[in-house]
Amino acid sequence: MASFIYTQCPAECPLISAQMAKVQDELERLDVLGSEAVLLSFSTDPFRDTPEVLREYAERFAADPEGWRFLTGPPRAWIDTIQQGFALGVGYVDADGQLFDPFTSRPERYDVMHALNILLIDRDGVVRKHYVFPDFRLDTLLRDVRRAVQR
Residue ranges covered by each domain of the chain: 2-149
pLDDT at 137: 83
pLDDT at 66: 94
Task: Indicate the residue type of 139.
Answer: D
pTM: 0.92
User: Nearest 5°: phi and psi at 35?
Assistant: -105, -60
Is the CATH number 3.90.550.10 carried by domain 2-149? Answer: no
pLDDT at 21: 96
Rounded Cα distance between 108 and 100, Å, is 12
User: Nearest 5°: phi and psi at 114?
Assistant: -155, 165
- Residues with pLDDT less than 70, the chain: 151
pLDDT at 151: 63
Rounded Cα distance between 49 and 6, Å, is 7
Q: Using alpha carbons, select from 135, 134, 145 the residue that is nearest to residue 16.
A: 134
User: Nearest 5°: phi and psi at 95?
Assistant: -60, -20
